Structure 1
C-alpha cells in the first residue's frame, strides 16, 4: 500500500522539497497564487474575516491551511485505489508553520483525531514557513476589534438552522456563523437558507464566513477522487478555530447537531466502517478541545443539543412558526441531487441515514409543525418495495434490524452506544446517552411503522 504525501509549496522562492521515505508517493503542488496571495480559498477567508473587523492569529491561519490540506487529501485520494482493504489509506502531510516546536507538541493528538475521524493512517510533519513569503495577515491586528463573541457552524442542515434560530431568537451575544460551501448542490440552498435567517432577524448583526472548496491547479496524476468526505468536519471546525483565533478571550465553537447523529451507532454489525461517521462524536470533540488548548487558541467546541433527538430539536425550537416557513430549504441528505435533471428539483433522496432520521423527526413533531415539508425523491414509501440489497432499502433495513433488537431488549442501548468510539471521558453521561439513543431510534421506528415501511432481502426470496 502506497502512502500518499501532500507537500504544498509557497511560490518559486520556497525551496522545500519533501524527502521521500520508502514507497511514499509525494504529491507536490503550489498554493501561492500569481498575485502572491494564499490559495486553497484561504486568502478569501482572510478578507471575509476582515469584514467582521477581525484578523486571525498566525496559528489560526496555519490551522485553516492544515484543515484545507486534510480536506484536499480526503477528497483527492480514492479509498479503493489507495488502500489494501478498500477503506484504510495511508496519508501524509507537510505543513509549513511558524513555530515547529509548538506544532510538534500536538502531532500525536492531531494524528489520533484524524485517524478516528476518517479511519485512515495519518502522519503530519511540520517544516518552517518560508521567510520570504508573507502570510497575508494584517499588520494592524491590535487595532481591529471583532464584532462577534463566538463561532457557530452553519451547514444549511436542519440542525444548524434550528441552532441559528434558537441563538438569534433568544437574543444572545453576537456569533459569527461559518459555512463550507462545498459544491453547488449544497452551497445554493445553504446561502438561500442563511438569507432567510438574516431577513427574519433584522435587528441583529447576522454575519457569515462562507469558505469555498480548497482546490489546486495540479492534477494528482493516476489518482481518482473520493466521495466519502469523512474529513469535511475537520475543515468545518478548523475554519471556526481560524475565525475565533482573532478573539483575545475564550470563545465557544457551537456545533448544532442532534445527539442520535453525534453518537451514530452502527445499525448492524457489518456497518462499523464506512457507515459510522464520527464527525460530532463526544470523543472527537474532546480531542479538538485538547488540540486547541495546546495551540493556544481559546475556543471550546461544544454541542448544546448533545442530549436531544432531532425530533426534540424541532419541537423545542424557539421560533416554530419561522421554522415551518423555511425547514423545506434546509438540506440533510447525505447525497443531495446535483441539478434539476437528477432528482427533479428534489434534493433529498429520502432513503439515506440522515434523510430517514429527518423524516422520523418531522413525524415526531407532526402535531406541532404539521406534515413534513421536505420534497423527497423516495416519496410514497408504502408503495415501494425496499430490497435491502439495493441503496433505497439498505438503511431502512438497517434501522429495522436495530430498532427490532432494541425493542426486544432495551438494555442493549447501553452497550451499543460504545460501538462508534470511546466514551470513557463521559462516564457521568452514559445513562443519558443510552436514553437518548433509545428515544432517537424510537422516532425512526414510529415513522417507519406509520408509513408502512417493510423491507425484504432478494437473496432470501431467491433461496
Structure 2
C-alpha cells in the first residue's frame, strides 16, 4: 500500500504509516508456510489487514496518560483521523462499513476515530502476505485458533484437539522477539502430539523503527481478528476462535483507579459482536469469531490443561505482557494483573509444581513492590478479588450489570 496519514488530536504533523515497500515504518508478513493455501486472498482481506495494521501502528505511536486515574488527565482519550489507501475505496467509504469500523476501534480503545479512504496503487492480487500458492492446499482446516502462547489459548487449542477430530490452524501474531520461542515450543508440542492436525501460522506485524509509546495497544484485537479471518478464508476453515477466561473477557472493572483501556477489552462480548458486524458488512462469506472460554474462570482453564495431559507445558506458556522486563530466568514480571491472575489460578487448581516461583521477577505473594504502579496494581487487584468473594448474584449484577 502507499502512505497512510494519521492525524492525532488535530495536529498538523501527521503520523506516516508505510507498510512494507520502500522505507517502511511497519512490517507485515509471515514466515514461509510449509502448507499451501486453498486460494488467493480476497483483496478486501488484504485491505482489512492493512487497515488493522495502520490502526495498530498509530495506536502504539501516541502515549496516553498514566495507568491510574490521577495521571489520566485530558491525554487519556485521543482523537485519530485516518487517511488510508485501499484497493476498494468504494466499499470502505460506504457509511455502514465506515460506521462498523469506527465502532470496533472505539469500543477497543475508547478513542474517537474517523476514517477516509483513497485509491491504493497496490496490485489487488499479487501481494501475498500469507505466502499463498495458487496450485492448491495440502492442509484443509476446520478451525482457526488465535494463539498467543498464553495459558488460555494453549488450553483452548489443546482441548479442541483432544476432544474433536478437527484440523486446526494456530495463528500467532509475531510482534515481540522474546515471545517467539515459547509460542513456537507450544505449537510444536501440539503438532507432535496431534500429528497431521495442526498447522502453526506465524504472522509478522510490527513497527520497524521504535517501540510502542503506548503499551495498552487494545487495537491489537482487530489486527489479530483480521489475521484469523484471512487465514480462515485461505485454508477453508469454518470458525475462528479466541480462548480467554471470562473474568478477563467480561472486563469486570478492577478499580475506579485503573482507567479505561488499562482494563482489557480483547474478547469482551461487545468487542466480538462489533468485529463480527464489521466482517458481515465487508465480506460476502464472513467466518464467525467467538470466545469459547467466556464462561470459565482462569482456574478452570488451567485445570483443563491438566485434564488433557499437558500440565508440564504450563511453565512454557507466558501470561505476562510486560515483555521488556522478561528474560530467560524471569519470564513473568510478577507485578501486573496478568501475573496475578495466572499465579492464583494455578495455586487454586493445585498445580503449583508446574509453575516455579523463580519464573516471576517479583514473588507474587511476598515480593516487595517499590513503584507506585506496582503497589496500586497489587492493592486494587486484591481488593477486587475480596469484593467479588463477598457478592451474591444480585449484588454482582448490581455492581457489574449493564
Length-normalised TM-score, structure 2: 0.84
2:397 corresponding residue in structure 1: 414
> Which residue of the partner structure matches residue 438 of structure 1?
none
CA distance in 1, matches of 2:318, 2:15: 34
Asked which structure has the greater RCO (Cα within 8 Å, sep 6+), the reply is 2
Gaps spanning 5+ residues in structure 2: where? 67-71
Q: Is the 8 A contact 1:169 1:318 kept in 2?
A: no
Deviates more, 1:17-26 or 1:60-69: 17-26
Aligned position for 1:187: 180
**Is 2:16 the partner of 1:28?**
yes
Q: Identify the residue that residue 253 of structure 1 maps to in structure 2.
A: 240
RMSD: 3.4
Q: Counterpart in 1 of 2:74?
A: 85
Deviations 1:234-284 (A, max 9, x none): 211111112123356x72110011111101212222223242111110000
Range with greater deviation from structure 2 (278-287 or 85-94): 85-94
> Larger Cα Rg: Structure 1 or Structure 2?
1
> Counterpart in 1 of 2:44?
59
Closer/same/farther in 2, CA of residues 394 and 49 from structure 1, 3 Å limit: farther
Within 2, Cα distance between the matches of 1:30 and 1:365?
46
The counterpart of 1:394, out of the listed 356, 376, 384, is 376
Partner-residue secondary structure (3-state), 1:136: coil
The 10-residue stretch of structure 1 (47-56 or 325-334) with the greater mean CA deviation from structure 2:
47-56
Instruction: Give the equivalent residue in structure 1 for 2:69.
Output: none
Counterpart for residue 127 of structure 2? 136
* Alignment partner, residue 96 of structure 1: 85
What residue is the counterpart of 1:327 in the other structure?
314
The alpha-carbon deviation at position 358 of structure 1 amounts to: 0.9
Q: Hey, what does 1:307 align to over in structure 2?
A: 295
Post-superposition CA distance 1:344-390 (Å, at most 9, x none)? 61111223111111112112210xx45351421222724x4567x73
Structure 2 distance, partners of 1:61, 1:409, is 47
For the residues of structure 2 that align with 1:130 and 1:182, how far apart are their CA atoms? 27
Q: Tell me what 1:267 maps to.
A: 254
Counterpart CA distance in 2 for 1:282 and 1:69 is 24
Matching residue within 344, 348, 371 for 1:360: 344
- Counterpart CA distance in 1 for 2:377 and 2:135 is 52
Residue aligning to 1:288: 275
- Contact conserved, 1:63 with 1:238, CA < 8 A, in 2? yes
Alignment length, in residue pairs? 389
Are the aligned partners of 1:54 and 1:145 in contact in 2 as well (CA < 8 Å)?
A: no
How far is the alpha carbon of 1:190 from its aligned partner?
1.4
Q: Distance in 2 between matches of 1:257 and 1:345?
A: 26
Query: Does the aligned pair in 1 maintain the 2:41–2:125 contact within 8 Å?
Result: no
Is the Cα–Cα contact under 8 Å of residues 82 and 114 in structure 2 kept in the other structure? yes
Partner of 2:204: 212
Q: Aligned pair in 2 of structure 1 residues 93, 48: CA closer, same or farther (>3 Å)?
A: farther
Q: 1:42 to 1:135 in 2, by over 3 A?
A: farther
Equivalent residue for 1:242, pick from 230, 234, 249: 230
Q: Distance in 2 between matches of 1:272 and 1:33?
A: 38
Sort the Cα spacing of 1:277 and 1:43 in 2 relative to 1 into closer, same or farther, 3 A: closer
In the alignment, does 2:100 pair up with 1:109? yes
Determine helix, strand or coil for the equivalent of 1:214: strand
**CA offsets per residue over residues 172-194 of structure 1, 9 Å max, x none?**
32121100111122122212222
Match for residue 165 of structure 1 among 158, 163, 185: 158
Residue number in structure 2 paired with 1:457: none
Deviation at 1:215, TM superposition (A): 2.9
SS of 1:244's partner is helix
CA distance in 2, matches of 1:359, 1:18: 40
Report the alpha carbon displacement of residue 51 of structure 1 after superposing the two structures with TM. 3.2
Q: Aligned pair in 2 of structure 1 residues 142, 294: CA closer, same or farther (>3 Å)?
A: farther
Q: Is the 8 A contact 2:81 2:115 kept in 1?
A: yes
- Counterpart in the other structure of 2:385: 403
Q: Which moves more between the two structures, 276-285 or 403-412? A: 403-412
- Distance change >3 Å, CA 266–CA 139, structure 1 → 2: closer
